[in-house]
Structure 1
């Protein structure tokens, strides 16, 4: 049986000047949470938007294989993709205020999703929307359905986006920083809700986050992105216990660990910023920030296998 989502050698270019995603490969199995991690500007959100075919005008995507449940997405028509989006595939966007239409109430936007794809009655759609708002921790859901986005706080708008994405019981959920605007208590509730849905529905999730604490708690597999490339991919426990790529090690050094980091001791950091990569770039994009870089890092970099399920992109062997 094929994986739920297969992304192999994805390329995304903007105007032929910027290569936002370069040969990225990600697989999401049924019932699996696969996390994409990395700094801002590494191509995580662009990868998600490419899967949903929601890239900005002027962007071009290509892939050796881009498939959902074995169905090729690159050759799918606009109407075919519209049938999948919000129905079998759903996305929680990073910025809820710009994702919700300010001219329509929360209820009208949520019920539209279900009525478009499932052809239910307005009453059934409203009941479903109210139930999901309650499940994501919103009190008085009936009242909230009649409100406009500007009447809600940032945290409430984020929870509305999560509930809206779940309206049609999707098989694949792409979540781009879904808990960023939430406090720790609500964040835990949302993560438990998503974990419960995975158990009940076999939901596959591609989770984009900067929070390695969330990754450690919920992810089955992790892919580390840098400058548009997946530089390391491994099962979660193996990645945390035995990181191979210098960038992955740098990210983990930035995380405070109780019992290991002394009070007032500075956390680790990675000097520099993510470079802007253009077409034709060769070599390791991390070389200007890496302690182990030498002249060979300016040439093609091999991909090594640390184990059957663990690979990384670096000249340094496992």
Structure 2
């Protein structure tokens, strides 16, 4: 049984179709990267799983299950018992994800006592242990500090430690290195990979950085215009990209030893289409050099272990 199974997920904000039939499966112990440019539906998909969509959003799916538990009919109270306990999330912006009015220790202890009970002292001991585990020096001192007293890298580590307070089985990390400098990014990625290996977490890592994907992912799903257009094991995807959008993304990467000095990087021409209620077919067709009339129809995600949503792949 898969740890997380999403089938035919749709999310709408009024007349805008933010996610259009996304399919994502995360196995236990797997690092599954969701990659794509800004606005493709990555973060909305993760928020839909956690039940944290903005008020007024419309969500439906053929199946959305965690460890075999159907998430769709759950009430807010039922979902809150899973969220933060067996399912946890590291949010995109560490600067605003922590409450500035409470100390780090108070916020971390609340996560533990809310789901597991026990004393506040035991919760603070657990928090200090995890702060040390994620590489924060003087963890006892940090527990008494407020978020504004910490750097961006430290806040991100606090967010990771907070997500691990209840030993979750699924960890969703939404672009956890976006606001950090390159050196801290590398440290955070190594930390996530180490924790995933040690704890056997199912890790869903959302990013737009293919360099990050190449270093940490077990499997990659590429999203475009609210759909998963390709999904494959990492080595297979980089060696044999089948969707024109995936190929375009890889062509934009600088390759040492292959790209002549001074030459221009590849680009993807055109713009992302406006995803209204009546939009049908491949969202990439207006930017694709291989587009044909059949691309205006709905295209299923086909394949065995290497899945692709393209008429050429079919």
Correspondence 1:298 to 2:278: no
1:10 maps to which residue?
9
1:258 maps to which residue?
256
CA distance in 2: counterparts of 1:287 and 1:221, whole angstroms = 25
1:314 maps to which residue?
310
Aligned-partner SS, 2:37: coil
Q: How does 1:49-88 map to 2 (within 5 A)?
A: 49-88=47-86
Aligned-partner SS, 2:73: coil
Determine which of 40, 43, 46 is the counterpart of 1:45: 43
1:274 maps to which residue?
272
Q: How does 1:214-233 map to 2 (within 5 A)?
A: 214-233=212-231
Q: How does 1:95-106 map to 2 (within 5 A)?
A: 95-106=93-104
Q: What count of residue pairs does the alignment treat as equivalent?
A: 314
Aligned-partner SS, 2:43: helix
CA distance in 1: counterparts of 2:270 and 2:135, whole angstroms = 39
Aligned-partner SS, 2:44: helix
Aligned-partner SS, 1:21: strand
CA distance in 1: counterparts of 2:253 and 2:12, whole angstroms = 32
CA distance in 2: counterparts of 1:285 and 1:181, whole angstroms = 29
Q: How does 1:126-165 map to 2 (within 5 A)?
A: 126-165=124-163
Do 1:287 and 1:293's aligned partners in 2 also have CA atoms closer than 8 Å? yes
Query: TM-score by structure 2 length?
Result: 0.95
Structure 1 residue 22, shift from structure 2 partner: 0.6
Structure 1 residue 60, shift from structure 2 partner: 1.0
Distance of aligned partners of 1:98 and 1:276 in 2 relative to their CA distance in 1, 3 Å threshold: farther
Determine which of 12, 17, 20 is the counterpart of 1:19: 17
How well do the aligned residues superpose, as a CA RMSD in angstroms?
A: 1.5
Q: Which runs of 5+ in 2 are unaligned?
A: none
Q: Which runs of 5+ in 1 are unaligned?
A: none
**Worse-matched range after superposition: 84-93 or 288-297:** 288-297
Structure 1 residue 302, shift from structure 2 partner: 4.5
Deviations 1:201-248 (A, max 9, x none): 321011001111111111111100001000001111110000000000
Distance of aligned partners of 1:272 and 1:136 in 2 relative to their CA distance in 1, 3 Å threshold: farther
Do 1:135 and 1:193's aligned partners in 2 also have CA atoms closer than 8 Å? no
Determine which of 164, 168, 173 is the counterpart of 1:166: 164
List structure 1 runs of 4+ shifted beyond 4 angstroms.
none
Do 1:19 and 1:228's aligned partners in 2 also have CA atoms closer than 8 Å? yes
Deviations 1:273-305 (A, max 9, x none): 322301121111111111112333222334442
Deviations 1:44-79 (A, max 9, x none): 000000000000000011111100010000011211
CA distance in 1: counterparts of 2:177 and 2:118, whole angstroms = 30
Query: TM-score by structure 1 length?
Result: 0.94
CA distance in 2: counterparts of 1:92 and 1:303, whole angstroms = 29
